[in-house]
Amino acid sequence: MKINKLRMTFLLICFVVLAPLLVPTAFILHGIYLRRLRASADLFKCIGCGQILGRKSIELADDEWARRMRELMDRQPGRRLRIVRNLHAICRNCGKQYQFDEKTRTFSEHLSA
């Protein structure tokens, strides 16, 4: 019983001390991720038309993803959804959709509709 209380106090202290670090860390990690995504898009040639994807393809995918999420929320209001984003770039030339793999830093064809 006493050990449990001590452990809880210790965890609480850890959380209070570390919490202010979580947000900046998340921001930094997200910044690194975005840089990798953009750098990869600047090098990747669309498998449909051969054009470089570029930054515009990421913006197109951001807009499309936001639209899909709004649509989903409208269909199921108030429901908590667990969604993993799988659309990261859309070719501005031919409209082919891609998913980004951060580990390999490359794009693969987006399959699910």
Q: Helix (H, G, I), strand (E, B), or coil: what is residue 54? A: helix
Distance CA 9, CA 67 (A): 44
Between 37 and 92, whose beta carbon lies closer to Zn ion? 92
Q: Between vectors from CA 69 to CA 92 and to CA 83, what angle results, nearest 5°?
A: 105
Q: Say how many residues touch Zn ion, by CB under 5 A.
A: 7
What is the nearest approach in angstroms of Zn ion to the Cβ of residue 58?
14
What is the nearest approach in angstroms of Zn ion to the Cβ of residue 45?
9
Residues 21-50: x/- map of binding to Zn ion (CB under 5 A)?
Answer: -------------------------x-xx-
- Is residue 51 within 8 Å of 93, Cβ to Cβ? yes
